[in-house]
Amino acid sequence: MLQRVPKAKEALAKEALSRRVRQRWCRVRRAKGIVVVPVEVDWRVLDLLIKMGWVAEADARSRERIGRAIAERLAKSARI
pLDDT band at 1 (very low <50, low <70, confident <90, very high): very low
Q: Residue 67 carries which side chain, given as an amino acid letter?
A: G
Better pLDDT: 20 or 7: 20
Q: Is the pTM of this model over 0.75?
A: no
Q: What is the 3-state secondary structure (H, E, C) of 8-46?
A: HHHHHHHHHHHHHHHHHHHHHHHHHCCCCCCCCCCHHHH
pLDDT tens per residue across span 27-57: 998 899 888 888 888 899 889 989 999 899 9
Taking phi over 0 as left and psi of -120 to 50 as alpha, with beta for the rest, 53 belongs to: left
* Nearest CA among 65, 29, 25, 31 for reference residue 49: 65
Please state, as a whole number, how many other Cβ atoms lie within 10 Å of the Cβ of residue 62: 13
